[in-house]
Structure 1
Amino acid sequence: MSARDKVLDAFEELLVVEGARATTLDAVAARAEVSKGGLLYHFRSKEALVEGLLERLTALAAADTEAMAADPRGPSAYYVDTSVADGSPLDRTLVAAAGLAQDANVRARETLHEVHRGWFRLILEEVGDRAVARAIVLLGDGLYYNAVLAGSIASDDVAGTEPQDRAELLEVVALLKQQARR
């Protein structure tokens, strides 16, 4: 792992665990176990760290969008089936970027919107109906939201974190796609 990635990982972890206000350059350097000078060599400011994280998110989302487009079940099934908090690099980076967006970071909000628009476009191309595409996206988003909350407030019967829960939701996706074809 490069020193740059180590610093970005530390920044990401601080965002997820402690929130945007805890992400001082000193805190990031300490978490990454590099000197502040080492951090500044790769990222001249906190804004540069944010840009680095958002570039990472864009790259991870592009790879996810490619996988989504190539899934033989279709983008809709892929989106819902993978809408779980799994601790993957994409998952961690999404949560970190969401923390920045909640802290009123405009670039983070724009990047998250663009990522989401990419997923929505693929689903819309597949189903051909904006309302059905929106329903599928919201189904996946709700699943993700409840998966993130499963350890805190979401009840087990609603969380949808188990494979059989996703299988049931994929049946709903199939019905929605069928409805859109009519």
Structure 2
Amino acid sequence: MTEAHRRLKQPEFTRSQLLAVVRELLVRDGTHAVTLEAVAQRARVTKGGLQHHFRSKQALLDALSDQLFEEFQQSYETAYSQEADTPGRHARAYLRTCFDSGSGCNQVETQRAIGLLALSSPQCRERWHATMQTALQADGNDPRTADLLLACRMAGDGFWFSQMLGTFTLDDAQRERILNLLLELCDGATP
């Protein structure tokens, strides 16, 4: 009897382990490195065991995309719930999510996985686009206000991508000052 047959069956743990391996392979070597064989071998499961949970490479990548999207949404919802119910609330919560270094979705490896999936998966891009379009609707109808809040969000994205790519080295104090500057811009954008 093989080790796989003697192992206690824990489907949620196995799925989680498989997705962690996919994330690691994706970040380390790119989407081409994510194969059923590589994931199964690294996770120490049979290819059939892997396919019991995920039928294809695309199913693996889609499940990882779902997981990363949910992590981001949870961080965003936490930030949103802590913001005062005033104009610009959505943009401020988005910025806090982008700058939250304690958040799982802002760990460099996770940022890179999200970036790689967004670049390689039209479905992933569309999901992020639809979510952001919905969030922008909360900024109101005044073009100046909406444009300034969008510019603040785009600055948050730029910060996020610069951290992912290692473009700028910021200490905690500088990171906090930049976040506060953007939050002030959000507050100044609203009437």
- Both structures adopt the same fold (TM-score exceeding 0.5): yes
Name the counterpart of 2:171. 162
Alpha-carbon distance in structure 2 between the residues aligned to 1:119 and 1:31: 38
| Equivalences for residues 33-112 of structure 1 within 5 A | 33-72=44-83, 74-84=89-99, 86=101, 88-91=103-106, 92-103=109-120, 105-112=121-128
TM-score by length of 2: 0.74
- The alpha-carbon distance between structure 1 residues 60 and 118, as it changes in their structure 2 partners (threshold 3 A), is farther
Alpha-carbon distance in structure 1 between the residues aligned to 2:103 and 2:182: 24
- The alpha-carbon distance between structure 1 residues 22 and 86, as it changes in their structure 2 partners (threshold 3 A), is farther
Asked if 2 retains the 8 angstrom alpha-carbon contact of 1:7 and 1:32, the reply is yes
Sequence identity, in percent? 29
Alpha-carbon distance in structure 1 between the residues aligned to 2:134 and 2:18: 28
Name the counterpart of 1:13. 24
- Segments ≥4 residues shifted beyond 4 Å: 84-88, 118-122
2:150 corresponds, among 109, 122, 134, to 134
Alpha-carbon distance in structure 1 between the residues aligned to 2:78 and 2:100: 17
The answer to whether 1:144 aligns with 2:160 is yes
Q: CA deviation at 1:112?
A: 2.8
Alpha-carbon distance in structure 2 between the residues aligned to 1:50 and 1:66: 24
Letter in 2 for 1:97: I
Deviations 1:11-45 (A, max 9, x none): 11111111001111111112222221111110011
- The alpha-carbon distance between structure 1 residues 99 and 155, as it changes in their structure 2 partners (threshold 3 A), is closer
Asked if 1 retains the 8 angstrom alpha-carbon contact of 2:79 and 2:96, the reply is no
Name the counterpart of 1:175. 184
Unaligned stretches of 5+ residues in structure 1 = none
Name the counterpart of 1:31. 42
Alpha-carbon distance in structure 2 between the residues aligned to 1:96 and 1:170: 24
- Equivalenced residue count is 172
The answer to whether 1:3 aligns with 2:20 is no
Alpha-carbon distance in structure 1 between the residues aligned to 2:99 and 2:190: 27
- The alpha-carbon distance between structure 1 residues 163 and 53, as it changes in their structure 2 partners (threshold 3 A), is same
User: What root-mean-square deviation, in Å, do the aligned CA atoms of Structure 1 and Structure 2 show?
Assistant: 2.8
Asked if 1 retains the 8 angstrom alpha-carbon contact of 2:136 and 2:146, the reply is no
**What secondary structure does 1:146 align onto?**
helix
